Amino acid sequence: MNQKYFMAKTPAAFNNHTDIKFVAFRDLVSWRGRQLLSSDIRSTYPIVRLGDYIREESLRVHLSASPEQEFGILGINNKEGLFDNYSDKGANFNQPYKKVELGWVAYNPYRLNVGSIGLKKELHKNDYISPAYVVFSCKEPLLADFLIRILRTSSIINILNQNTTGTVRASIPFYILKMLYVPLPPIDVQVQLLNTHDRRIAKAEKEEKEATHLFNQSRQFFLNQLGIQEGCKEAISSSHTFIQYKRLSTWASSSITDQTSFNFTHTKFDIQPLKRVITTFEGGKTPATSNSHYWNGDIPWISPKDFKSLYISNSEDSVSETAVSNGLKIHPPGTVLGVFRSSILRHSFPVAMAQIATTINQDVKAMKIKEGIVTNHYFLFYLCYLQNLVLEMASRKGVTVGSIDSDKFLNIPVILPSIPVQKEITRQIVAQHSKINALNESAEAHRSAAEREFMQAIFNTER
């Protein structure tokens, strides 16, 4: 049978009519011309169609068929890649989940273009993942880890951004990924490039580990200063509870008897419910993505993906004055922000202080503190260091997306030393965080250098 081909011109072809591509009919899964440009990369290594080296794995398991059995669920982000997310009983899953075998790859089709992809390794204990994610395996001689590194390079991300589907929320489904063309060195070269890349990353991880150690030190200092004990999970009450009337923020028995991992009985300072130390507690919204007049303006628009450190000075997305005039509120610098809806809430409660005037999306809450009762930095560190308390008392777990119950959050106890004591505590912590930030910045520089060197080795035109 004769192979049928179609011609597609790249942008250069429209100028000189010399750059013409012949596309096999089997590769033509879309008539969109820009998707035929995925092969427009340069390398001295062979350029191959990715669809010939990857295979989608769609094994789905009805976990609910074993209602009492515990199942481990995997998650994906753009930092760790694949990670053990949580475990739950089969009865709590209302849809089949995908099985992920050792050596398989999974990615978030809505966030592949920011690096949300990972490899199932022996260190992972969990075996299932949400059906919203794409799972695939690699065929020889393509190494899965090598492919992941390629897909995270800015060169490939730029191509992916030009080939998304969806008008409201851009995505990269598997059929689009298969159309991508990538360099494919011999296996021994792939291994060599991975080893070189890993040495750079090891330097970054060493500094990140040191930063984590300093963070834990400052956290323990904070808890000690407030007289908070952490460790064994015990109820505030077993049979009889004695509590000072001035500290009783609500008459609901659950607020007295809930179990937490934190013991406040040894603190010498006043305790108030969180709702008494803030004046503003409100979320944002997403302007219509179909209206281009709302987007790419000069006003930051913070969403959960911007919570990368304790201080936010920019955002990946921005909005226009038109969006603000249509009901999007601008919050001033110094506002404490928290993520209230995200899958990350299964294990973390991201908080940060805005160092810029900014808008926020609907998954984020903005909190303005009462001056004279609490300082911005103290409140920020309190939520950061006691995020496990927030999760224990206020998390509302969904099957795929976790959230924080606002009413329960507003009743979380806040220990309130005097303002001078708060300032002295935070003064020492801020100094420690300067060292932490320096280590994290150095680690990021190593990661950037690793990607740059990897790209130069892969996408070079000379060897």
**Token digits of residue 60:** 């789905």
User: Over the chain, what is the mean pLDDT?
Assistant: 86
Long-range contacts formed by 268-271: CB under 8 A, 24+ apart:
268/227, 269/226, 269/227, 269/415, 269/416, 269/417, 269/421, 270/246, 270/415, 270/416, 271/247, 271/413, 271/414, 271/415, 271/416
Task: Report residue 88 CA to chain centroid gap.
Answer: 21
Q: Evaluate if residue 254 carries a pLDDT over 90.
A: no
- The per-residue pLDDT for 373 is 95
- 256 pLDDT higher than 70: no
Mean pLDDT value across residues 191-198 = 95
pLDDT at 302: 97
Letter string b/e over residues 207-225, b meaning 16 or more CB atoms within 10 A of that residue's CB: bbebbeeebeebbeebbeb
Q: Give the model confidence (pLDDT) of 264-307 as tens digits.
A: 999 999 999 999 999 999 999 999 988 999 999 999 999 999 99
Structure tokens at 416: 């309130």
Of 282, 150, 206, 219, whose CA–CA distance to 440 is shortest? 206
Cα separation, 346 vs 242, whole angstroms: 32
Instruction: With a cut of 70, say whether residue 4 has pLDDT above it.
Output: no
pLDDT of 463 reads 46
- State the average pLDDT over residues 38-53: 85
Fold topology of 229-263+270-416: Adenine-n6-DNA-methyltransferase TaqI; Chain A, domain 2 (3.90.220)
pLDDT tens-digit series, residues 210-245:
999 999 999 999 999 999 998 755 444 333 444 454
| Percent of the chain whose pLDDT exceeds 70 | 83
What lies within 8 Å, CB to CB, of 76 at 6+ separation is: 82, 83, 106, 107, 108, 111, 116, 117, 118, 129, 133
Mean pLDDT value across residues 439-445: 94
Domain ranges, ordered by start, for the chain: 1-29, 54-184, 229-263+270-416
The whole-number pLDDT of residue 5 equals: 37
The yes-or-no verdict on residue 108 having pLDDT over 70 is: yes
Q: Are strands 54-56 and 351-354 parallel, antiparallel or unpaired?
A: unpaired
Same fold, 54-184 and 229-263+270-416: yes
Provide the pLDDT for residue 390. 95
pLDDT-derived band at 161, boundaries 50, 70, 90: confident
In this prediction, residues 298-320 reach a mean pLDDT of 94
- Is the pLDDT at 40 greater than 70? The verdict is no
Domain 54-184 CATH class label? alpha beta
Please check the confidence at residue 397 and state whether its pLDDT lies above 90: no
Of 327 and 17, more confident: 327
Q: How far apart are the first and last CA of the chain?
A: 39
The mean-pLDDT minimum among 36-45, 103-112, 366-375 falls in: 36-45
Distance CA 84, CA 75 (A): 6
Residue 21, pLDDT > 90, answer: no
Provide the percentage of residues in the chain whose pLDDT is more than 90: 71
